[in-house]
Structure 1
Amino acid sequence: MNISTTRAAQKLTPPVLDEARGSVELIGTCLSAAFTLPGGPRPISWDSGVRSTTSSDLEKHVSSAQRSEDRTELTVYRSAILRWGDSEALCLIRNISPGGAMGKIHAEIPRGAQVTVEIRSGKPLDARIAWSSDGQIGVQFEDCVDIEETLRVPASRGQGPLQRMPRLHVPCRVSLLHDGMSHRVMLLDISQGGARIDADFLHAGDEIVLNVPRLAQRRATVRWTRDGHAGIGFLAPIGFDQLAKWGEEHRSRQR
């Protein structure tokens, strides 16, 4: 090692040692402040740059946590019905937050349109179309929603037309096979899991085959009957795309 190198090392050594010594002292000070012995002196003055937590700090923290919670998104795959004007369409919700949702749809709805979103049957949510592109839409709810409550499926209480899945209201004539006989009946509404029809000759527990034009035949069981109407459940559900496209074609023919 030459003389110049030695002198350079000597110049660098004191600052490094001072920095290390300062770090050790800082750690010791912090530990002393955190673990003061009973009756012992406080090593740090409370007005010497160390600020205590105030109620204002807590309020800011809670407010920040609430804002973070409001931005929480939940990934789901739930069918919903979007209604605007006198039209409606089936939508597959892919994610939802307290402020809005994103989903897949086969209908064209203009940006800014006022809509209602029905994820749970009979529980519409007011919203507007925030954006729409390539079969995908984003909706913004008018008011923040409780995600858990919105997605909750209520328990069934006895017999009755409790709709677990949103249904398209598509009145049309369909054929029904029951006890080896074919009947023409009115289809009132339909979902991926079942339908409601006008058929006063059916009874709960009957097995039938429903034939809807442009949809494949569906084997089903009668779940309930009331006032000449019958609710049926499909043994195999209809796929989202198949029913959504069928619903949009039916809507187009009714224009």
Structure 2
Amino acid sequence: MPLTSSVMPNLAEPQLRIPRGPRVTTILLIGKLASLSGETICRIRNISDDGLMAEVHGAFAVNDAIAVTLKAGDVLRGRVRWSLNGRIGVEFDEPIHVAELLSHVANRIGPEGIARGPRFDVDCCAELLAAHQRHEVRLIDLSQGGARLVGEVHLVRDSIVRLLVPGLGECEAAVRWVGEGAYGLSFLEPLAFADFGPWLNDRSLRYGA
């Protein structure tokens, strides 16, 4: 009998009903989760050679095919085996080597202990406050840690600006790179997982639809 949220046993933390090796706790391992519903952010809480458990926003059904892309570019493919209270259990299509995977992720973390989080294509309007002036800009992509935008505005590298994103509020950021009409921002404080996930899933929050 398939394991679904309606028949999930009353456990403090549901576990995958598949043979697996010892789990490795990986709190705050952020990934980009892709499914037939689109792309969203997820937070892996534990992982084994055979599967993982992650916090997610949105609805997932048993047997949904998903792919999780990690910060280092590794892609984990599998199917949802249970979904309950904002968490899902995933069984991988093929076993992985957890130690090698986590080592690869660690090697992509810079000297400040920060790795670039997954970026999401958003293409929506935003407002930028720079040098005491407000400018209408176009937000091209967004992550918990930063953004890329375009607009008719003059920004100086390493200057501090404020970005107002519809549905997310105002974020203070540093200008990290300047291109021809395009700019890269690094947020001084990352966007909260609890806010960013629902924002990605609900287009009305950024487009007013």
For normalisation by structure 2, the TM-score amounts to: 0.76
User: Following the alignment from structure 2 to structure 1, what is the Cα–Cα distance between the partners of residues 97 and 30?
Assistant: 18
1:111 maps to which of 42, 46, 62: 62
Structure 1 residue ranges, 4+ long, deviating more than 6 angstroms after superposition: 251-255
Relative to its length, the structure with more helix (as a share) is 1
Q: Tell me: CA distance 1:89–1:155, structure 2 relative to 1, closer, same or farther (3 Å).
A: closer
Deviation at 1:75, TM superposition (A): 1.0
User: Following the alignment from structure 2 to structure 1, what is the Cα–Cα distance between the partners of residues 202 and 100?
Assistant: 33
1:208 maps to which of 152, 161, 169: 161
Deviation at 1:118, TM superposition (A): 1.2
2:127 maps to which of 175, 197, 208: 175
Q: Tell me: CA distance 1:130–1:226, structure 2 relative to 1, closer, same or farther (3 Å).
A: farther
Deviation at 1:166, TM superposition (A): 1.3
3-state SS in 2 of match to 1:118: strand
Q: Tell me: CA distance 1:207–1:141, structure 2 relative to 1, closer, same or farther (3 Å).
A: same
Deviation at 1:122, TM superposition (A): 3.4
What 5-or-longer segments of structure 1 have no aligned partner? 1-69, 157-162
1:219 maps to which of 172, 175, 194: 172
Aligned partner letter, 2:66 = V
User: Following the alignment from structure 2 to structure 1, what is the Cα–Cα distance between the partners of residues 137 and 151?
Assistant: 6
2:93 maps to which of 142, 159, 171: 142
User: Following the alignment from structure 2 to structure 1, what is the Cα–Cα distance between the partners of residues 76 and 132?
Assistant: 43
User: Following the alignment from structure 1 to structure 2, what is the Cα–Cα distance between the partners of residues 131 and 252?
Assistant: 28
CA deviation vs aligned residue, 1:67-125 (integer Å, no higher than 9, x gap): xxx61211122221111136111111111112111011111122111111012253322
Higher relative contact order (CA 8 A, sep 6+): 2
In the TM superposition, what are the counterparts of 1:1-255 in structure 2 within 5 Å? 71-77=21-27, 78-85=29-36, 87-120=38-71, 122-151=73-102, 152-153=105-106, 154=108, 164-199=116-151, 201-226=154-179, 228-250=181-203
Relative to its length, the structure with more strand (as a share) is 2
Aligned to 2:14: none
For normalisation by structure 1, the TM-score amounts to: 0.63
Aligned partner letter, 1:237 = P
Q: State the identity %.
A: 33
Give the root-mean-square deviation of aligned CA atoms: 2.7
How many residues are paired up? 182
CA deviation vs aligned residue, 1:211-246 (integer Å, no higher than 9, x gap): 001212110001223454322111111211111122
Contact 2:167/2:206, CA 8 A, preserved across alignment: no
Contact 2:199/2:206, CA 8 A, preserved across alignment: no
Deviation at 1:145, TM superposition (A): 2.4
What 5-or-longer segments of structure 2 have no aligned partner? 1-19
Aligned partner letter, 1:109 = F
